[in-house]
Structure formats: C-alpha cells, structure tokens
A and B are shown apart, each in its own frame.
Chain A
Amino acid sequence: MTKMLIATTALVGVLAAPVAAQTIGVSIPAATHGWAGALNFHAEQTIRELGERYPDLQFVLTTTPDPSTQVSDLEDMVATRNIDALVVLPFESEPLTDPVRRIKESGVWTTVVDRGLAQDGIEDLYVAGDNTSFGRTAGEYFAQTLSEGDKIVVIRGIASTIDNERVAGFQEAIEGSGIEVLAMEHGNFNRDDAFTVMQDYLSRFGEIDAVWAADDDQAMGALAAIEQSGRQDEMWVVGGAGMKEMVQRIQQGDPQIPVNVTYPPSMISTAIELTALHFMTSAPITGEFIIASELITPENAENFYFENSPY
C-alpha cells in the first residue's frame, strides 16, 4: 500500500479531509536512484508521523519522473487540492522557477528543498544540503590523512552543478597538501559505470593510495573493481551520502572504507516538519536552512544508520 503511494505520479491524498484543515502539497522526484529512493522513504514517513501528530493537517504527495510532469503535478495540486503550502524539490531549477513563482504569488506558502530556483527570493523557506561542504569535508579528510606525493583518483557523478560544486569544494580542501590527483572521470552515480572507470584506473596506474568516489553507489562499484584486482591493501575508498551498507562497514572498522560524508536525503523531513510548524505554531519560520555535510567515522557511525531506509 505504501508502495502504491510512491509508485504513482497521480495525486494521492494521505488523510481523510476534515473541514477547514490546512493542506500541504509535497512534490519530489521519483525514486529512480538510491538517494531519491531514500528521499521518498523519508517523505512518506514524515507525512505519516505529522498526520498523526496534527490531525488538522492534510498532505498531498506526488513523485515525478521529469521536470514537465512535475509542472503538471503542481498545477493539479493547486487546481484540484487547493493547497495552502507547497514543499517542492525541483527536478531542475530553470523549468520549475516560473511555475513555483506563480503558485507562490497565488498565496501558497512555499518551501523549496535542495535544488534552488533560478530566481532568488521566491520561496518562504529554503532547506538544502551543502554540496561545497560535501566535497570539502571529504577533501579535508584526504588532506589530513595522506601525505605529500600520495596519489589519488576521483570518480565524479553526473556532470551537473551539484557535481561541480562538490569537486570544487574537494579540490579547494586538498590544495597545498601535495596530494596528486591522477585522474577524474564520471561514474554517473551508477555502480556499473563506476566499476568500469575504476577497472580502467587500475590498469592505467600502478600506484593509487586512495579513491574519492564521491557517492556510495559509485564507491560500491569501485570497491568491486579493486577486489577483482586484488589491490585492497593498497588503497582506501571514500564515498558519500551515507548509504546504510557503507555506514555499517565503517562502524565495523573496515580499513578499506575509513569514513563517509553525509548528504542526508532526510532533509525532506526537515522541510516538511518546518512547513508544518509554520501552520501549527507561531514560531517564525522563514529564510534558509542549510544542512552541513558531516564526516561519518567509526566512532559516530551509529547515529547515521537507519535500519528501515532503503538507502
């Protein structure tokens, strides 16, 4: 039943409708990769909890496979569900900017999550992760742990602003440390692509001291390639985003995966909770809420492990 909720792009009312209740619309990308899957999981869970806590609040959740469907979903929400607030994680910034602005102008309280709109000042609340800090946190670990002349390879994500910001943050942090970056290729947040890229790195370079895989799916692919080559003792791998298998291995002290960097998909919970608070309390809730990336180490790993999350 809960799967139905995630799988459909149609509008789904979560609670029965008491009169004069407030309705909050939530629009997020569909679960097409691990991180987005966890986003859906946390959105659904938060909506269920809030529904129990505040019977006066109703929620409408839509998941969309592409930007144009998301625009249609938003139009449907306004036209047929009469929403009072909108929590939206834009699929892409540019195409969603104008539709969200129009919804905001029609008097809907608006929260934008993670991917900012192309124009400033539209939303009431902006909740986001910090991609530069994601790259910098990883980079600082590399700079502290490795010594001058050590060699690393990087597997980047899908070519995008997100990826560029992460890589810029990383490069800034390792600058001056004397670490040599042998190569950077794209793994497209995909295990198979990262596996292939890592295999080729391993044939190309006789010495690699560490890998920044920048994403946990990519790290899984890279680890499989390293295992195949039998060079596990030579290098360690840092992924990112806090996939639960990775967190578990860090907790167990796996020498190949010393740390991880968070980019929590549960930021959607932060956004929905804060939006609900705007209606249910008189606390001022406007502005920006930026969630910094944290370093997951064997010592603090248990705080980042979510048993039921699919990611």
Chain B
Amino acid sequence: MSTATTDSPKSAGWSIDLRVLGPILALLALVALGMFLNPNFLSYANITNVLARSAFIGIVAVGMTFVITAGGLDLSVGSMAAFIAGLMILVMNALIPVMGAGVGIILVGMLVAIVAGLIAGAINGLLVAKIGIEAFIVTLGTMGIYRSLVTWLADGGTLSLDFAMREIYRPVYYGGIMGISWPIIVFAVIAILGEIVMRHTAFGRHCAAIGSNETVARYSSVNVARVRTLTFIGLGLLVGIAVIMYVPRLGSASASTGVLWELEAIAAVIIGGTMLKGGFGRIWGTVVGVLILSLIGNILNLTDMVSPYLNGAIQGVIIILAVVLQRKRSNSR
C-alpha cells in the first residue's frame, strides 16, 4: 500500500498497519514455537488452561487499557484483587450459618466483590481526578494499603472458603458451556465490550483525548475529572469481576494472592500497542498482549529448554522485543 486511503488520515494509514503486526507476529511465533516443542501444546486441555488462567489478568488489563489511554496508571489492582478476594471469602463464610450453604451466598459474595471493586476504584479515581494527586502515587499508596489489609484479615495466613461452599462455587472456574470454560467466556465478552466502548463511544474518544492532551480536551468541553474517575471505577469493577472468577479456582486468598498482577496487566497493555503516556489505546492489542505473556510461561513449563532460573529473563526479552517491533516500524514511516 503506497498511498493512504482517502477515508483515513494520512499518517494513520502506514503506522496502524505496521503497529498491528508487532504483537500478532509475536503471538504467532510463540504458538509456532509451542507446537514445535511439545505435541500437547495445542491439546484442548492445554489451550483451555492457558486461556482460563489468562482471564484474570486479561479482565483487569482491559480496564487498565482505559486508565492508561486516559493518561493514568493503576498499581493497586493486584493488591486490590487480593483484598477483595479475602473480603469475599470472609463474607461468604460468615453467611453460612445464616443462609445455609447454597447459591444465594455465592450471589451475595459476587455482589460484595463488585461493590468493593467499585468503591476501591472510586477512591483511586477521586483522589487522582478531583484532588489532583499523581495516579502513580495514589495507587502506590492504595497498593500498600490493600496488601496490608488482606494480610491483616488473614492474620498473616490464608483465608479459605468453607469446603461446602467451594464445591458449589467451583463450576464458575472449572465449568462452562459447550466445552468453553466460564473464565474464557467472561474474558471474551469483556474484551468485546471494551473494544466497542473504546472505539465506538464518546467515552472511548474522550479517554484518548485526555491522554493525548488534557488541556485541549478540557477546552473541547470534555469533563476531564469525570471521565478519568470513571476509568478508575471501571477498572475497579473489572478487578471485582476477575476476583469472582479467581476465588472458585483455589478457594483461598492470602498475602501472596495477586502479587505483580498490576505489572503483568500494564505489560500486556503496552505490548498490545497502547501508549504508556496515554492518548492511544487498543483493547484487542491488550488481549494479544495478555495471551503472549501467558504463552511464554506455558511454553517454558512445557519444555526443559532453559534453566527455570532464566524464565524471568526470557519473558523480559520477549516483552521488549514485542514492543521494539512496533515502535521501530512506526517510527520509520
């Protein structure tokens, strides 16, 4: 394609085409590598495992894409997830004598997770947007707060869901319809909704406008504080939903739950082509980024190719490569 088409801006024609390729090429290369290294890689069980375990980070990363696109950042999501999971387990266990073990308690637990997520997101959002503190500092603070709170709730140990409840709740992670497990379905639905909101709504365009130039956005009568707060509230809600899918997996939460989720989510967003400084966001790219991160871990576990001590290094190299690929080409236009 030598000339830009008339219906899209000139600069966008080349750059979007090529920036699209980076993460997709990386993903395809990983899939090919996986197939080459282990015949079980493409088995139904392995694919399900990888997609289902990507769902937590994936759901969170969709929300993170909006926050980053609007020029923000949220470091608290991992701790927030751990805290909400702990809270949810405590509430559900406490309700067993009152309500009896059953689906009712699970619905209450889910409600707790969603409300807690909304509140936690609103706290971050209001501190950033209304009081005007840097998002990095606010969420660094709340990150420490939630991590301490879950440690305190668990008395330093592990909060475990009552065994009877675990059996009832279990299908939410392990079950599914037509062979597709629930976390995968929820992740897919959220990703599609996210893509629609980002591309086809005023809210999505406002996020990008604020992220690329806050002053201009304000002069264009975008309610900056409101949009920015909403990105954090949306992220909080998605953390709540991720927790709803997470708790039935192991039925427990502890101080080590959700450690480094925030960095994995941010890495996935950036690998997917969203700009860390804001102004441009791409939900489907984030989904590809999440899958890349999960596949690296999966492939390393499926082979003895490298010493497990080097897993982190391999991940680092692939993350940087995936981003370099797109940056280099987009600069050379």
Interface residues, chain A, with chain B CB atoms under 8 Å away: 3, 6-7, 30-34, 36-38, 40-41, 156, 159, 183-186, 189-192, 195-197, 199-204, 217, 220-221, 224, 228-229, 245, 309-311
CA distance A147 to B154 in the complex (A): 41
Contact between chains at A7 and B152 (CB < 8 Å): yes
28 residue pairs bridging A and B, Cβ less than 8 Å apart: A6-B152, A7-B151, A30-B151, A31-B155, A32-B151, A32-B156, A32-B255, A34-B156, A34-B157, A34-B158, A38-B157, A41-B156, A185-B300, A185-B301, A189-B256, A191-B158, A192-B250, A192-B257, A195-B250, A197-B301, A200-B302, A203-B46, A204-B40, A220-B250, A224-B249, A224-B250, A310-B156, A311-B157
Chain B 35-77 against A: per-residue CB contact (8 Å), 1 yes, 0 no?
0001011010110010001000000000000000000000000
Contact between chains at B157 and A310 (CB < 8 Å): yes
Q: Which residue of chain B is the closest to A311 with respect to CB atoms?
A: B157
CA distance A37 to B300 in the complex (A): 32
Contact between chains at A204 and B302 (CB < 8 Å): yes
Contact (A6, B156) CB under 8 Å given A33-B254, A186-B308, A201-B301: yes
Contact (A203, B256) CB under 8 Å given A7-B152, A220-B250, A310-B154: no
Q: Which residue of chain A is the closest to B166 with respect to CB atoms?
A: A224
Chain A residues whose CB sits within 8 angstroms of the CB of B148 once the complex forms: 7
The number of inter-chain residue pairs (CB within 8 angstroms) is 105
User: Nearest 7 pairs between A and B by C-beta?
Assistant: A37-B156, A31-B156, A310-B157, A200-B301, A203-B46, A37-B157, A310-B155
Contact between chains at A229 and B158 (CB < 8 Å): no
> Max chain B CB contacts within 10 Å: which of A7, A36, A191, A311?
A191
Contact (A196, B53) CB under 8 Å given A159-B309, A217-B158, A220-B250: yes
Q: Which residue of chain A is the closest to B259 with respect to CB atoms?
A: A190
Chain A residues whose CB sits within 8 angstroms of the CB of B315 once the complex forms: none
Chain B 299-315 against A: per-residue CB contact (8 Å), 1 yes, 0 no?
01110100011010000
Whether B330 is near chain A, meaning CB under 8 Å from some CB there, is: no
Contact between chains at A200 and B49 (CB < 8 Å): yes
CA distance A116 to B256 in the complex (A): 25
| Contact residue among A7, A197, A229, A245 (Cβ-Cβ distance under 8 Å from B160) | A245
Contact between chains at A199 and B49 (CB < 8 Å): yes
Chain A: minimal CB distance from B105 (Å):
21
CA distance A294 to B256 in the complex (A): 27
Contact (A191, B256) CB under 8 Å given A186-B308, A201-B301: yes
Chain B: minimal CB distance from A58 (Å):
24
Contact (A195, B249) CB under 8 Å given A38-B157, A159-B309: yes
> Max chain A CB contacts within 10 Å: which of B43, B46, B158, B160?
B158
Contact between chains at B308 and A191 (CB < 8 Å): no
| Interface size, B (range) | 35 or more
Contact between chains at A184 and B308 (CB < 8 Å): yes
Chain B: minimal CB distance from A63 (Å):
9
Chain B residues whose CB sits within 8 angstroms of the CB of A217 once the complex forms: 158, 254, 256
Chain B 133-156 against A: per-residue CB contact (8 Å), 1 yes, 0 no?
000000000000000100110111
CA distance A38 to B254 in the complex (A): 13
Chain B residues whose CB sits within 8 angstroms of the CB of A203 once the complex forms: 40-41, 43, 45-46, 49, 302
Chain B: minimal CB distance from A2 (Å):
9
CA distance A33 to B158 in the complex (A): 8
Chain B 244-255 against A: per-residue CB contact (8 Å), 1 yes, 0 no?
000001101011
Chain A residues whose CB sits within 8 angstroms of the CB of B156 once the complex forms: 6, 30-32, 34, 36-38, 40-41, 310
Chain B: minimal CB distance from A307 (Å):
13
CA distance A164 to B138 in the complex (A): 39
Chain B residues whose CB sits within 8 angstroms of the CB of A192 once the complex forms: 250, 256-257
| Contact residue among A3, A7, A156, A196 (Cβ-Cβ distance under 8 Å from B301) | A196
CA distance A309 to B160 in the complex (A): 14
Chain A residues whose CB sits within 8 angstroms of the CB of B158 once the complex forms: 34, 191, 217, 310-311
CA distance A204 to B41 in the complex (A): 8
Whether B174 is near chain A, meaning CB under 8 Å from some CB there, is: yes
17 additional A-B pairs beyond A200-B302, A203-B45, beta carbons within 8 Å, are A3-B152, A6-B152, A6-B156, A7-B148, A7-B151, A31-B156, A32-B151, A34-B157, A34-B254, A185-B308, A189-B256, A190-B259, A191-B250, A191-B252, A192-B257, A204-B302, A309-B157
CA distance A6 to B302 in the complex (A): 41
CA distance A156 to B52 in the complex (A): 24
Contact (A191, B254) CB under 8 Å given A32-B151, A34-B158, A204-B38: yes
Within 8 A of A (CB), among B297-333: 297-298, 300-302, 304, 308-309, 311
> Max chain B CB contacts within 10 Å: which of A3, A197, A199?
A199
Contact between chains at A196 and B297 (CB < 8 Å): yes
CA distance A132 to B250 in the complex (A): 30
Within 8 A of A (CB), among B212-255: 249-250, 252, 254-255
Chain A residues whose CB sits within 8 angstroms of the CB of B256 once the complex forms: 32-33, 189-192, 217
Chain A: minimal CB distance from B287 (Å):
19
> Max chain A CB contacts within 10 Å: which of B148, B298, B301?
B301
Chain B: minimal CB distance from A171 (Å):
15
CA distance A185 to B46 in the complex (A): 17
Chain A: minimal CB distance from B51 (Å):
12
CA distance A49 to B297 in the complex (A): 47
Chain A residues whose CB sits within 8 angstroms of the CB of B301 once the complex forms: 185, 196-197, 200-201, 204
Chain B: minimal CB distance from A168 (Å):
15
Chain B: minimal CB distance from A113 (Å):
17
CA distance A311 to B154 in the complex (A): 10
| Contact residue among B45, B255, B297 (Cβ-Cβ distance under 8 Å from A33) | B255
Chain A residues whose CB sits within 8 angstroms of the CB of B259 once the complex forms: 190
